[in-house]
Structure 1
Amino acid sequence: MEKVIIIGSGFSSLSAACYLAKAGYEVEIFEKNSTVGGRARQLVKDGFTFDIGPSWYWMPDIFDKFFNDFGKKTSDYYHLDKLNPAYKIFFEDDMVTIGDCMDKICEEFERLESGSGAHLKRFIGQAQENYDIAINKVVLRPGLSPLELVTKETVLRVDQFFKTISQEVRKRFKNPKLISTLEFPVLFLGAKPNNTPSFYSFMNFADFGLGTWHPRGGMYEIIKAMKNLAEELGVKIHVDSPVTKIIVADKEVLGIRSQSKNHLADYVVSGADYHHSETLLDEKDRQYSEEYWEKKTYAPSSLLFYIGFDKKLENIEHHNLFFDTDFEKHAQEIYDEPQWPSKPLFYANFPSVTDASMAPKRQETGFFLVPIAPGLEDTPQLREQYFDVVMDRFEKRTQQLVKESIIFKESFCVNDFVEQYNSYKGNAYGLANTLRQTAFLRPNLKSSKVKNLFFTGQLTVPGPGVPPSLISGKLVSDLITKDSKR
């Protein structure tokens, strides 16, 4: 039986492990931290439960497909609730509430711009077609050749790879609040709307068409489900086991070194940060130079606060976006002139609004996220300064005092992403999905220098986000399976 060692235990690594074990390989995972999950870990403190990383459950069909591939259903492992409303956006002088179906969303659009409901239905109709092509054709290809993007469907939409989301949205809608609402989902792809191909409007269908869901108990329930599935399939998982070297001889991978021991394998897959993974190789075996990584466009990093409140909060939903400052200026301060934002947009997540298990009775679990440029200076003073900014704005927009109700707060920022995940420049979401960083133009799943060495995760194909990470694990397992049949 051929053996595969996988570095890291995030979504893409667990996905690859499950597929490879099912295909008959002996699989072992080595994880540097004390729990599995990579960036999707959990903080449990004083009865409060926080998802440290991803907190949005979009594209439920991708999760369904993953578990179905093993004869399972998501409901075998966790319970899903569809959120209504999906989320709320706070602007300076108004709020936009995104309901759980297109009729409610169209009604809200009409309130702000007459005639926009019909435009929205057409826009989401096209976005749905793009979603079907993207999910069923394009993202299931391993990024080995430019020809993978050429299908009869994409040829008919080739202009959508050269127009941007921003152009497409602004052509149809004039109200700035609606424009921001429609441009927001591509931030999950890690790039500015005016730098993201309009084909990626499929994210708007993921948002409005498929809805926003919550796994009861939090996103970590998915990690627990995948870990259980992996172990059912025979995968061995080692935690507290950082990998210090990928062992290579004569341009072929032999295994890894962890805790001063060598572990041999026929194949190695790294789901750790791609740049970090290559530093585990001798320089001659690396595919990409430091200059290559330096020139890439990264998705943002984040300043995060995890807060336990001793009361139920008012005027909030499960997911809340605070767009009460200049969206474009904040985007410029992330991508064009990297600096700490002058007036940051932020996101606030209160899972205990819909899930009583996430906080003690009559209390609230709060998670606040400020997107920032990767690689910024990160100090306790800066974190505290931005905490005050966020809390002041939050109190003002939701018309309540909350600072006195804080039981505890913990923060997580650039230094933590580097220290805990070996994340290049402390990025939170990997490599941005710009046109020049799409599909075959992303770092390869398969090493071009070392035989039987592979990579998976958000810096490679298909890109950032939880559903793409599940797909990335499948793609790399398919490549290995094909490779070993030769």
Structure 2
Amino acid sequence: MKRKIYIIGSGFSALAASCYLAQKGHQVTVFEKNETIGGRARQLIKNNFTFDIGPTWYWMPDVFERFFEDFGKKPSDYYELIKLSPAYKVYFGVNSFVTIADNLPEIIATFETVEKGSGVVLEKFMAEAQSNYDIAIKDLVYRPGVSPLELITPETALKVGQFFSTISKEVRKRFTNDKLIQILEFPVLFLGAKPSDTPAFYSFMNFADFGMGTWHPKNGMYSVILAIENLARELGVTFKTNASVDKIIVENKKAIGISVNNKIDYCDLVLSGADYHHTETLLDPIDRAYSEKYWEKKTFAPSSLLFYVGFDKKVENVEHHTLFFDVSFKKHAEAIYDNPSWPEEPLFYASFPSKTDDSVAPEGCEAGIFLIPLAPGIEDTEELREKYFLKIMSRFEEITQQKIKNNIIFRQSFCVSDFIKDYNSYKGNAYGMANTLLQTAFLRPKLKSKKVGNLYFTGQLTVPGPGVPPSLISGKLVAALIEKNK
């Protein structure tokens, strides 16, 4: 039976779901509250500079390939991929840095120069990480989180101990050098939790990093959004922007339509790719599956303070992706997860896409994106944004040994209140609910509403979790569940 399906939101998961559902012959319409599609992966264009507002890391290229392959396509049909070489640089202080190459043999050699004997250890660690990747990304994450039995396979039975240990413990068993430990713990930050709270099985993120490399889609991550939009339109999906959904219409315990800009529009099924908590506020309290107390108890991925900066000259001594781990990771993590507050001295990340891609900045100029991870729900003022911009700029200048403050043409910031305003994000979190042991697979909010028929969810607060590749997978999972339940 072909149905009229309305999708709320147009981020990666919603776009992916729209493609799969349209492929099955359903009449699909996507409603986006903002002027442009893309959800958190929108684009900022200003003074001839182009910035990705949200995700800037392109990891797990195989997941993107698998997505397009489902439609008889390839990523290269829509956008050009550039492998970053080196992948990124990590600063630990002035004249103290480690550069991560674009291939594992060189990374192993780098580790060996930092800590004697660590190269061999890394090789073994990466073999385990690849094994976990093969189990997780090629199999487990493509399961809908309906039952705990989904996690029980002959392969996972051999790795059960890794679900009860942590990344932090496993890395520290093998390595003693603080720099190497921080580099190995870094990838799991994409999962939204501290390494000390992330199951050791998630070392597959290290394989995504060292084993598969870091990529850049020409013209930025938004080119991937445009690619999936083009695919969706080819499949017959309709898009409506500036379309704010203010109510999900429920009758006899079934979703029968939505109110868009205060006008009711009827359909057969509603799928929300918007923030899960926000979507439930579009329902009457009796129809909500999860209470406020439920959400309060969950561990959310951090929010972020972001700056999009245009420089009138080239910035030196940095790579496309550059991490600044010159202050205490432990103290910053405590300010995010244990005692939500503004960190005294924040770690931060800087991206300079114009190092790779001439199209994103005028000639002789540099486009810079700076990100400070923050606790969701904390105070957000212009004064605090300014204070922290000056903090990281001073450290940036000192560590990279150059002056750049006076070369800023413009800057624009984005923080907790913007995540709430633009994306209805719970407490202004930047990328969903963290993947801790008790928030994995079947323990995450469900793809299908437990209270309302014909109401489904997709995205970073449901399965499989945070990040762009998991969001694409989430769209596939919910579309399959809808087909199964028709």
Q: TM-score scaled to structure 2, two decimals?
A: 0.99
Give yes or no for the alignment of 1:32 onto 2:50: no
Deviations 1:213-269 (A, max 9, x none): 000000000000001110110000000000000000111110111022212111110
The match for 1:152 is 154
In structure 2, which of residues 457, 460, 481 is the aligned counterpart of residue 458 of structure 1? 460
Following TM superposition, by how much is the alpha carbon of 1:329 offset from its aligned partner in structure 2, in angstroms?
1.0
Give yes or no for the alignment of 1:197 onto 2:196: no
Question: How well do the aligned residues superpose, as a CA RMSD in angstroms?
Answer: 0.6
The match for 2:228 is 226
**Aligned pairs for 1:331-480 within 5 A:** 331-480=333-482
Letter in 2 for 1:51: D
Following TM superposition, by how much is the alpha carbon of 1:3 offset from its aligned partner in structure 2, in angstroms?
1.0
Q: TM-score scaled to structure 1, two decimals?
A: 0.99
Letter in 2 for 1:352: S
Please state whether the residue corresponding to 1:304 is helix, strand or coil. strand
Letter in 2 for 1:213: W
The match for 2:20 is 19
Distance in 2, matches of 1:211 and 1:105, equals: 11
Distance in 2, matches of 1:137 and 1:12, equals: 18
Please state whether the residue corresponding to 2:389 is helix, strand or coil. helix
Give yes or no for the alignment of 1:481 onto 2:483: yes
**Aligned pairs for 1:65-464 within 5 A:** 65-93=66-94, 94-464=96-466
The match for 1:56 is 57
Distance in 1, matches of 2:222 and 2:393, equals: 26
Distance in 1, matches of 2:479 and 2:267, equals: 15
Distance in 1, matches of 2:197 and 2:327, equals: 21
Distance in 1, matches of 2:342 and 2:121, equals: 36
Following TM superposition, by how much is the alpha carbon of 1:136 offset from its aligned partner in structure 2, in angstroms?
1.8
Following TM superposition, by how much is the alpha carbon of 1:397 offset from its aligned partner in structure 2, in angstroms?
0.7
Distance in 1, matches of 2:204 and 2:330, equals: 22
Structure 2 spans left out of the alignment, 5+ residues: none
Please state whether the residue corresponding to 1:136 is helix, strand or coil. coil
Distance in 2, matches of 1:259 and 1:200, equals: 42
Deviations 1:277-304 (A, max 9, x none): 0000000000000010011000000000
Distance in 2, matches of 1:136 and 1:105, equals: 24
The match for 1:8 is 9
Distance in 2, matches of 1:46 and 1:252, equals: 48
Letter in 2 for 1:343: E
Following TM superposition, by how much is the alpha carbon of 1:57 offset from its aligned partner in structure 2, in angstroms?
0.2
* Percent identity for Structure 1 against Structure 2: 66
Please state whether the residue corresponding to 2:139 is helix, strand or coil. helix
Distance in 2, matches of 1:381 and 1:2, equals: 50
Letter in 2 for 1:155: A
Deviations 1:12-65 (A, max 9, x none): 000000000001111000000000000000001111000000000000000001
Letter in 2 for 1:88: K
Distance in 2, matches of 1:179 and 1:85, equals: 19
Structure 1 spans left out of the alignment, 5+ residues: none
**Higher deviation after alignment, 9-18 or 103-112:** 103-112
Distance in 2, matches of 1:262 and 1:480, equals: 23
Please state whether the residue corresponding to 1:105 is helix, strand or coil. helix
Distance in 1, matches of 2:71 and 2:395, equals: 46
